[in-house]
Amino acid sequence: MRLYFSIAFLIRLVASANYTDYPQKFFLETLFLNEIQQGGVADGIKFHCYTVDNEDSFLLKLNVEATADKLLLRYPLVFILHGWMDEGTSDWVQGIQMAWRRYQDVNICAVDWRKFAGQDYKSAMLKVFRVGNTVVQMIRWLESYRNVDRNDIILVGYSLGAHAVGYAGSRLNGQIGEIIGLDPAGPLFTMPYDVGHKYRLDESDARFVQVMHTSAGTLGTDKKCGHADFYPNGGSSPQSNCIYPANENEENKNPIGCSHSSVVKFFKYSLNPNNLYIGWDCSNYKHFKLGLCRWNKMSRFGIHSERRKGNFYFSTLTNAPYVETKRTKDDLP
């Protein structure tokens, strides 16, 4: 991921933006609304897909039946969307595609929207609606041509991609089976003020929405976005693997950028059923650390989730897979 060199820019962007008065709020919401009204399919977006039986990826193309015929729709259909300054062929995206197929039979497509994600942040942010709409068009065509069931679709989005899948889910009336939001972007969505559920990921966008926060209040949003929100180490920067000297093993040494990108690592390792990314429902991380939530309900993050609702807190380790492989309530401090 190439996000690390833009951290300072994003911080300055949020700090300098004055959207607290009504005219500025109205201006930003007008920009969002104009993008939504333009609609249409965004040119240049590619769907890199794998199936259970296909070790080589193929391009799924809208209205090209021969490409859709390759999907094995007796298995779930997954779409993964990357974030800003990133691309659908990044190592982390391909790593998730490979790991997911190792532990579950799925069709899995990386939605490569680098053409827009590589623009300045404000421009890329505004394009998430067009990107989301492109995913919607693909799903609707697959419904028509291959009789795809929306309940068998999972949308995964990282950073700006989380809001793109949220918009796609809302366009499909919240009928998608599941959305997994990976540290949804905060700047100009919930910082310096919250633009509202109409323009960002929220629990109405799918039958079940689960979210993991790893840089809340900086690059990621600090707002609850799902039915189940998970907060490793409190959900904010720095994550345990991003503190010196642990971050010497990280590509991104910046604690904020490292924490933001840690969510994709946590998600990848959570795909392994032996890695128990389990949180305890709690009012805040301080109460969790004090052991005040040890008898509250627990829930698991990721594809092995029990789909319980709440705000779930847990701590991680400094090295992969970042959690213990076996955990019980007795592991609480």
Q: What distance in Å separates the CA atoms of residue 208 and residue 225, rounded to the nearest whole number? A: 11
Rounded to whole angstroms, how far apart are CA atoms 182 and 177?
17
CB atoms within 10 A of CB 276: 21
Helix, strand, or coil (residue 128):
helix
Residues 240-257 have pLDDT tens digits of 999 877 667 667 778 999
pLDDT at residue 159, as a whole number: 98
Q: What is the mean pLDDT of the chain?
A: 90
Amino acid at 193: Y
Q: What angle do CA 161, 324, 157 make, to 5 degrees?
A: 5
- The pLDDT-based confidence of 31 (bands split at 50, 70, 90) is confident
DSSP H helical ranges for the chain: 7-16, 22-38, 65-68, 91-103, 114-117, 121-146, 160-171, 255-270, 285-289
**pLDDT score recorded for residue 30:** 80
CB 175 within 8 A of CB 155: no
Q: How confident is the model at residue 170 (pLDDT cuts 50, 70, 90)?
A: very high
Which backbone phi and psi does 298 adopt, to 5 degrees?
A: -110, 160
Q: How confident is residue 293, by pLDDT bands cut at 50, 70 and 90?
A: very high
pLDDT of residue 324: 86
Reply yes or no on whether 194 is catalytic: no
Name which residue leads in pLDDT, 12 or 319: 319
Q: Return all residues near 214 (Cβ < 8 A) that are at least 6 apart.
A: 183, 220, 232, 233, 235, 236, 237, 239, 259, 260, 262, 263, 266
Q: Which residues are CB-contacts of 218 (< 8 A; sequence separation ≥ 6)?
A: 11, 186, 236, 237, 256, 259, 260
Which of 243, 185, 176, 194 is closest to 19 using CA atoms? Answer: 194
Using the predicted structure, report yes or no on whether residue 164 has a pLDDT greater than 80.
Answer: yes
Candidate list 82, 86, 170, 183, residue with the active-site label:
183
Which band of pLDDT confidence, cut at 50, 70 and 90, is reported for residue 205?
A: very high
pLDDT of res. 22: 52
Q: Which of 159, 170, 299, 305 is catalytic?
A: 159
- Report, as an integer, the average pLDDT of 165-170: 97
Flag whether pLDDT at 216 surpasses 80. Answer: yes
With residues binned 3-state (H G I as helix, E B as strand, rest as coil), the percentages for the chain, rounded to 5, are: 40, 20, 45
The answer to whether 315 is a known catalytic residue is no
Whole-number Å distance between alpha carbons of 275 and 277 = 6
Write down the catalytic residue from 112, 260, 270, 299.
Answer: 260
Note if 213 is an active site residue: no
- Compute CA distances 329 → 198, 279, 280, 286, 295, whole Å: 38, 10, 9, 17, 7
Q: What is the pLDDT at residue 19?
A: 45
C-alpha–C-alpha distance, residues 69 and 164, integer Å: 26
User: Yes or no: is domain 3-331 CATH 3.40.50.300?
Assistant: no
Query: Full-prediction pTM beyond 0.85?
Result: yes
Q: Directed axis angle between helix 91-103 and helix 255-270, to 10°?
A: 20
Report the side by side order of strands in the sheet with 153-158: 54-60, 46-51, 107-112, 77-81, 153-158, 178-182, 209-212, 228-232, 310-314, 278-281, 298-300
Q: Where is pLDDT greater, at 97 or 196?
A: 97
pLDDT of residue 42: 73
- The amino acid occupying position 277 is Y
Q: Could you report the per-residue pLDDT of 2-17, keeping only the tens digit for each?
A: 554 466 555 555 545 5
